[in-house]
Every structure is written in C-alpha cells, then in structure tokens.
Chain A
Amino acid sequence: MAFSVQVDRGRRPASAGSDARRPRPYHWCAVSTEISRIRNFCIVAHIDHGKSTLADRMLELTHTVDQRAMRAQYLDRMDLERERGITIKAQAVRLFHEGYELNLIDTPGHVDFTYEVSRSLAACEGAILLVDAAQGLEAQTLANYHLARDAGLTIIPALNKIDLPAAEPAKRAEELAKLLGSDPAEILHVSAKTGEGVADVLKAVIDRVPHPEGDLRAPLQALIFDSAFDTYRGVIAYIRVKQGTLPSSATIKLFATHVTSEAEETGVMAPEATPVDALGPGEVGYLVTGLKDVHHAKVGDTITLAGKQGAAEPLPGYREPKPMVWSGLYPADGSDYSALREALDRLKLSDSALVFEPETSQALGFGFRVGFLGLLHMDIVRERLEREFDLELISTAPNVEFHVFRGTEETVVHNPAEMPPGGDYDRVEEPVIYATIITPATYLGAIFELCQARRGEMVDMEYLTPERVEVHYLLPLAEVVFDFFDQLKSKTRGFASLDYEPWGLQEARLVRVDIVLHGEPVDAFSSVVHRDKAYEYGKKMTERLKELIPRQLFDVAIQASIGSKVVARETVKAKRKDVLAKCYGGDITRKRKLLETQKKGKERMRRVGKVDVPQDAFIAALRVDEGARKK
C-alpha cells in the first residue's frame, strides 16, 4: 500500500491556512516549475538489490528528508512490507536537486504486480536499472527492464552494493552492458549503503532522462498510477499529469468508472503530503479525490475535469485488474463468518485488486471465493486477515480460472467444484503465463526437468554470461500456483529467479478430480488437474486423508474419482477399540470427564455424510506445501 496522507502519523494533514505560518519552500507553487526542469523516473530492481536504500540516500542528498527524520527505507510504510522487505504499491516522492524537480516513482517489485509496474512506468520518462553487483541480474528485474524499454523509457544502468566483498562489478557490468547493448563504461557504480555514487545517479537522471512534454492549456489528462484509501480523507489517487492542469479543487471525472467527484486537494509528496495549488503537465503528485470507494479510482485510469473542459479521450493502456489466482477462504470457526466478511470489506477499501464473493461449501460451511493478482497477493491478504483481524482461516488450495466451452456457451469457473464433472463439455482452456527464469547455468538441467514436469514449453534461452542463463517458458498458471516457486527455489538452492506475465489461454486436457468420502464428495478437495496428473493427485490426496481421518465405526472408503471413474482409493479401517480399560478405585469422575472431552471433540468435527472429520484434517489436507513460496 502506498502511503495514505499522513495517516501513519495519526493526524490530518495541515491545512493550507496553518501552513501559512511556516516558511514556504520555494517550490511551493508546483506549476511554477518549468517543464524542462522536471524529471520523472523510477528504479527497477529486484527485491533486496537496494532500491529502497538508494531512494533513502536520494532523499538525504537532496535534503528532502532531514537526517533525523530519516528512517531506513522511508518509502516502505506498512509493517508487513517492512517485514517482507518489499514494496507492494507504487508511490512518488518529489526531490529538488540543482534547480530540477525530480519525481521518484517507486515501482512495485513483485511478479504479481506487473500491470501496476507498467502504470508506474507510464508515469516516467526514465528508469534506473539497479542491479546487485554481487548477485547480478534477476528475472524480475529483467522483466521490468523489458517493460521499461518497451514503454520508451531512458534506462540508466547502475550496479549497487559495490562495497560488498562479494561484489564483482566488472563482471556484472559486462553482463548488463551485453543486455543493454551499451558500453560497460556507461554503467554507474553505486553503494546506496555508503552513499558512494549516489550524486552521479542524480546527475545522470538530470542529464540523460528527457523532460516530460505536455500542454498547460490542453484538456486535463492525468494517469492514476496508484490509489489508496485513507480513513480521514477517502480515496487518494497518485497521479501523473500528462496534459493540462489539475487545480487544487475541481470537479473531476474518471473515464473507466464513469464517476465524477469533487476533488478536495492536490499535493506532492516531499516526502510528507504537501498541498499545492495545482499540478501541471509532467508533474507527479496526489489528489484527494473526494471518492469513498477505492474501486472508483483504478490504477491505469485517466482523470479529467468534468464538463466541457474535460478531455474527450482517456490515456491509452487502461486495464481492469484481473485476478489470476483464486482460493476459498473459510473461517475456522463458523461463527466468524461475518467478521471475515467485514475484514474483506475493509481490505477491499485499500486494495482495488481484491475481489471476493460468498461461497458455500458442504464441508467447510460459509466462506468466500477470493480472487488475487497472484500468489504473493494471496499470501499478503491472508496474512493481513489473520494478523490484523485476528481470524483463523481455512483456505482451499489455490486455483486458476478455467474457461469451459460447451457448444457456443463459455463459462468461467473460479472454483474447481463448479467445473462440470466427468468431461461434460467440449473443451477447457486454462491461463498460460510467459515465464522468465534466470539461473546459474549449473541448474539448467533441474529447471528443464521441473518445467517439463509442469507441462512447460520452452520458448527460448540466452546466456547472459557464460555462467548465467535466461530461459523463457510458457507454463500453465495452474502448474505455477501449485508449489512451483518452492520447487524452483529448492532445486536451484535459491539461485534461480522467476518472473511471469499473463500470456493468454490454451486448451488443455483438464479434468476435475473429486475426493469422495464414504460415497460423499467433499467439495473443498475437488481439484482441476491435467488428465495425466489425475492419478498422482488422487493418490496423494487419498493417502494424505487416510492419515488424517480418524477411524470410525465402519470402514471409510476414500476415493479419488473423475466423474464416476475411481482413480485412487484408500480405506480407513473401522475402529475396533475405544473403551476406558480400567474403571476402578472409585475415580469415576475422571472417566466421566474423559467421556465428556471425547464428546466435545466429536461435536467439533465436521460431518461429511456419515463421516466425522476433524477440522484440523481439512487444514492439513489443504496445505499445499506452501512454506517456501513466499520467501
């Protein structure tokens, strides 16, 4: 989440009136900056390659933040982001340096947020390509570099962490130069930690990045590259004015959502929210939109003025946020259903990509089918629900959406249980991703093997250096959501990196595998898998459930089936003994209490047909080795 206006300081931003008493910085009136003296840029880097540290140094060097107020990684606000060391959403900071206005737009650094990255890039003219001098290029950096290049941005390559003993600046510079088709000498050497080379970076931004262009008097077109919800001020949009001028209060119109609103304030982040009279072409800042629903200010949408003075056309490139991964979320305690609904509603206020709808499972009760941009997004949402809202959740295995075609009819299925069983359709299409993997060459074999096993199709492969290879694969997303990342990391000892972008749909021989417990299908365990893997999935689930389901008074058959065809079967043998052996010495109380405990345990079980299944069994059976995925 980007910083909402001063919300983390627990007070409303100072009004213009009270500000009047403070000496105004000379850049107070935004439009006063000559367009030729504006530079909009971002930093493209892998997690941990030092993007936030570099940003911090820039804030210091330009006296945007004084040393005392400096806190490490100033731009990452939320605790969760701090802990994970990543930035989830973009934000912008205005710096002044040698008479230039430099807007640093922070890009999200993860595979799930490709579209948000592309919108942040669209707000810039230049990008610093920051690479760890010890670790070298990573897949995600490369993918974002391609995005930046395709968006026509000027690229400033820089190697960071040159102070590290393990740094190999010469080698990395060669690698980078090869990628960029440039001279290794053009690559900047930086230590964001010590501050070495940071001034050169700022100088390069001023010298190399072109200034924005735009007409002050043209109809307003402002790109929303991020939005957030503030408890006090409503929806805050982070914008880049492309054409025209945005005054501090105006009736605005949003193209994609067709809403109009009375905007209350324009401002810039310097780095705290600072109101300005207007934002002119080429400028970056925030707008207090007057909207109450963050879904009305979608990333990529265009803001203009309402009425005749508004622009006729939006800026190109808007896309609806599209959930890629789905999972059923259920409260472990059924009575928490409304608490879960409230928590999701609250999260949705600040997360425009989150979608959910109520869902009922025979096995798990009432819950929600929730759509996420990707696995990281899913983890973050789940973790926030558990941590900030204190909910205990059962989540079903993540799945992708399937397009089921029957005759001329197309159905989009988000829940495996909704898939027609037993092949009652003409064809099914599944989403495919274009994956970029960068790996030390020694692990190529392991990667081929993994991608092969996951129905991957290699597109191409290029040696970045003799030791490092960039491989591209088309992979079904369904295979990637299922512990692919874990496997990739463990097979390459953590050295390979992955990035992906949606590629489209492909037809696949997919089937729904049901898990049937004593004749009763358990909807929460249904999964859509490739026909060749149905047996493997069925066997794994039946074996796992055999360990988890307590013995009952009768034999319990656990079957995995495709339609009516059983592909795997296990049996939980009937229990034969459940009796307190010794009941003597007069301590009947204890025995009765044991019975009462047993009775309570029974009451807590969920009933599937005739079978009592403990809640823990659901949780354990649905756990998809998710451990290392988020790391």
Chain B
Amino acid sequence: MSTPAGIYVHIPFCLTRCGYCDFNAYAGMDELKPRYLEALFREAELASPGWTGTEFVSVFLGGGTPTTLEAADLRVLLAHLRDRYSLTADAETTTEANPDTVTEGSLAELLDAGFQRVSIGAQSFDPAVLASLERIHQPASVRRAVEAARRAGFRNVSLDLIYGANGETLESWRRTLDEALALGPEHLSAYALTIEPATSLGRKVAAGDVPGPDPDLQADMFMLACEALVEAGYGHYEISNWARPGFECVHNLGYWERRPYLGLGAGAHAYRDDVRWWNVRPPETYMEKVEAGELPIGGSESLDPSDAYLEEVFLKLRILEGVPSSWFDHQRYEPYVQSGLLVDHLGQLVPTERGMLLLNELVLGLTG
C-alpha cells in the first residue's frame, strides 16, 4: 500500500487583505466564487486518475478564507472529494475560518457536512495588535466563534496566533496566550510575524513608517509560548505548533514528514516521490485552464538528492523528530550540542527550544 496522502484545497477569497499576508488571496472577487467552485470540482476530476490507489488521510481547506464560501458549498466540495478520492473513514478534515465568517449555524452545517476540525485565525487578543496586523476582527469575535464551534459540536478546534507585531509587548503576548488557553482549543499554532516584502506591512517597514519585528523580543515571546503552552498540557510537536495529545494536525504533519499531497485550486502545491508541482497562481488563469480541460500546472521541480537531503534535515528538525546523528560528522554537530542548541537523544539530534529559534543556522551548519 502507498504512503497515506493529504489533499489541500485552496480557496483564494477573503473579506479583506490582511497587512502581513502574502498568500494567494484576494478580497473583492466574490462574483468568481461559483465559477471557482466549478473549477475545483473539475480539477478534482482531472487530477484523480493520477492518484488512483492512493489513500488520503486528510483534507485541508486553506486560503484565503474557505468560510467566505457558504457552508453548503463546502459540503458539496467535500462530498465531491469523497466521490473522487479514496478518503479513509477517519480522515482528518479541516477548514480554516475567520472569526467573522462563521456562525453557530454555519459551523453546525460544516460539522454535519463532515468537517471535524476548524482552525480559527485568532492572531491576537489585543485589539492594538490586531489593528497593527491590519486584521478587521475584534478579540470578542474569536471568543464568539470558538463558543459557536463548541455549541455546534466541534471537538477539534485550533487557534492561530501571531506574535511580534509592532506595539506588542511581552505582557500583551502573555495575555493573548492566556485568553487563547482559556478557550481550551485542542490545537494552537503560534507564528512569529514575518514581514514579507509584497505586503502592506512590508511596504510600510521598507519605507520606515513601521518598525520591523524585533527578533530578540520575538525570541522571548517564543520562549514564553513554549513555557505557557507546555504548562497548560499542550505538546510542542513542531516549531510553531502545539496540541493536546492526539490532536496534532495530521495534514500539516504530512508536509513535514514529506508524505505525498495533492493540491487543488489556484497556486496550490502538490508533492509525491521527490517531485513537487504547483498550480498557476492567478484564479482567472487557473479557471481558464481547468475549463479548457487542462491540469492547471504552473511549474514543477524534481528534487535532486541534495535538495531532498536539505529538506529532510530541515523538516525533521522542525517537527522535533530530529535527525540521526549518524548523518553528520561528529565535529559538525558537536559544537551545537555543546552550546545547547541540539540534544543528542539516543543517536537522534533534536533541537532545544533555543535551537528551534536558530533552526536555519542549525540546518546550514549541519548540512554545510
């Protein structure tokens, strides 16, 4: 039997464009939704012959904001995927959601449609930080959304947080963590804010209007998150991800464990057997290609052994599985063990919390 795989579906629609986001997402393109959905169904059909015999253990709707589509549409989409692909009975099915795009009713419908996991973009519970990130929702919306998900019956809720925005202090971050924990999510992601050049924030930072994140403060925030979340009973299973035991995200683990995945939708990435390919990014082009009966592939790359090796090391260190010390010369990794960035755990080199913060250095240092 082949390695279990995942399906990623990209929904590029958003209510507004957030200041930090450089994903393939667009606000104000609502009129494209029906056509885009059709295109997704069509692509699923076109792509499916290439994946016969593959068993899928996860479906992940990301974006963009999948919940800008009606719950009924997402129901049809998931049903369509079930028809075309071999999903296991207990496959993890996630949709991302923006707090302002869900109600108890819509969430109940999503659950009924077969989505068992909802990942809510909370980002922060500090209104000033949300404003600085150019998010339109209020902290109260997050609480309301999580409560609605609970009432609707979701037993697997994840929250996304971002730390290090302009104006955020360690104290504010601690309150955000406390508020998030108070909502009792099964899963938490906490990302250090990265300034991407082609974003509203990126331009402001480049122009000197807004200071870029302070890496030392972000390091302190990371350490604080590690401490607070582990104390609250969450396992740290990837650099930016924590979960209650058994609630680690199967789908995202697939990326990091280099399991195959299929990507559907504009700009979605796919991977199998050391080959990576991706769809064209602009939704319009994507739809045109699919409507013409073509697979909308925009590019691909074949990983040569050195690329694959670099990825393997980099991803294995991220998920704290670690890499066998036997892969490296002793003198390469020993200084990192000495300086407390790696621990040699029965022949596996695993990053410490300090080491996770310097992962790029570790990867480059180890792979030379």
Contact = CB atoms under 8 A, between A and B. Distances in A.
Interface in B348-368: 354, 356-361, 363-364
Which residue among B240, B256, B311, B360 has the maximum number of chain A CB atoms within 10 Å of its CB?
B360
Nearest to A585: B62
Contacts of A592: 307, 310-311, 314
A411 B260 CA distance: 71
B263 A586 contact: yes
B197 to A, nearest CB: 13
B86 interface: no
Nearest to A590: B269
Nearest to B163: A581
Interface string B281-315: 00000000000000000000100000100110011
A320 B261 CA distance: 78
A406 B278 CA distance: 73
B252 interface: yes
A69 interface: no
Interface stretch (B30-38, B39-47, B213-221): B213-221
A166 interface: no
Nearest to A599: B364
Interface string A561-587: 000000000000101111111111111
A598 to B, nearest CB: 6
Contact of B194 (A573, A576, A582): A582
A204 interface: no
Given A575-B215, A587-B278, A592-B311, A598 B357 contact: no
A576 B358 contact: yes
A591 interface: yes
Contact of A584 (B194, B252, B271, B276): B252
A409 to B, nearest CB: 46
B358 A575 contact: yes
B269 A589 contact: yes
B179 to A, nearest CB: 21
A577 B219 contact: yes
Contacts of B276: 588-589
Contact of B357 (A554, A577, A582): A577
B360 A585 contact: no
B240 A581 contact: yes
A540 interface: no
Given A578-B360, A578-B361, A585 B8 contact: yes
For A577, A584, A585, A602, which residue has the most chain B Cβ atoms within 10 angstroms? A577
B255 interface: yes
A591 B311 CA distance: 9
Contacts of B361: 553, 575, 578
Contacts of A591: 314
A481 B192 CA distance: 49
B268 A586 contact: yes
Interface string B197-231: 00000000000000000011011001000000000
Contacts of A72: none
Given A576-B354, A577-B219, A589-B276, A595 B8 contact: no
A91 B357 CA distance: 67
A593 to B, nearest CB: 10
B306 to A, nearest CB: 10
Given A583-B318, A592-B314, A578 B269 contact: no
A605 to B, nearest CB: 12
B339 interface: yes
A582 B240 contact: yes
B102 interface: no
A153 to B, nearest CB: 60
A588 B358 contact: no
Contacts of B129: none
Nearest to B317: A579
Given A575-B215, A586-B270, A589-B269, A580 B360 contact: yes
A577 B216 contact: yes
B98 to A, nearest CB: 16
Contacts of B315: 583, 588
A595 B363 contact: yes
A585 B311 contact: no
B247 interface: no
Interface string B257-281: 0000101000011110000101000
B151 to A, nearest CB: 28
B51 interface: no
B165 to A, nearest CB: 13
B328 interface: no
Contacts of B360: 578-580, 595, 598
Contacts of B314: 591-592, 595
Given A576-B358, A602-B364, A581 B191 contact: yes
B327 interface: no
A573 B216 CA distance: 10
Contacts of A585: 8, 23, 62, 269
Interface in B235-259: 239-240, 252, 255-256
Contacts of A583: 239-240, 255-256, 315, 318
Contacts of B219: 576-577
Contact of B358 (A579, A598, A602): A579
Nearest to A579: B359
A609 to B, nearest CB: 14
Interface string B44-59: 0000000000000000
Contacts of B222: 577
B357 A595 contact: no
Given A586-B8, A586-B270, A579 B311 contact: no
A576 B357 contact: yes
Contacts of B364: 595, 598-599, 602
A291 to B, nearest CB: 55
A596 B270 CA distance: 21
A577 B310 contact: no
Interface in A588-631: 588-589, 591-592, 595-596, 598-599, 602
A589 B301 contact: yes
Contacts of B240: 581-583
A573 B219 CA distance: 14
B269 A587 contact: yes
Given A585-B8, A595-B364, A598-B364, A577 B256 contact: no
B363 A588 contact: no
Nearest to B262: A586
B194 A578 contact: no
Nearest to B238: A583
B191 A586 contact: no
Interface string A325-340: 0000000000000000
B313 to A, nearest CB: 10
Contacts of A589: 269, 276, 278, 301
A595 B53 CA distance: 35
* Most chain B beta-carbon neighbours within 10 Å: one of A553, A583, A595: A583
Contact of B215 (A554, A576, A599): A576
Nearest to B221: A577
Interface in B329-362: 339, 341, 354, 356-361
A455 B263 CA distance: 73
A477 B21 CA distance: 57
Nearest to B269: A586
Interface in B1-38: 8, 23
Contacts of B359: 578-580
A577 B358 CA distance: 5
Interface of B: 8, 23, 62, 191-194, 215-216, 218-219, 222, 239-240, 252, 255-256, 261, 263, 268-271, 276, 278, 301, 307, 310-311, 314-315, 318, 339, 341, 354, 356-361, 363-364
Given A585-B8, A592-B311, 5 more contacts: A577-B218, A577-B358, A580-B360, A586-B270, A588-B255
Query: Nearest 5 A-B pairs (CB), nearest first?
Result: A586-B269, A576-B219, A581-B192, A579-B359, A577-B215
7 contacts: A575-B361, A576-B215, A578-B359, A579-B359, A581-B240, A586-B8, A589-B301
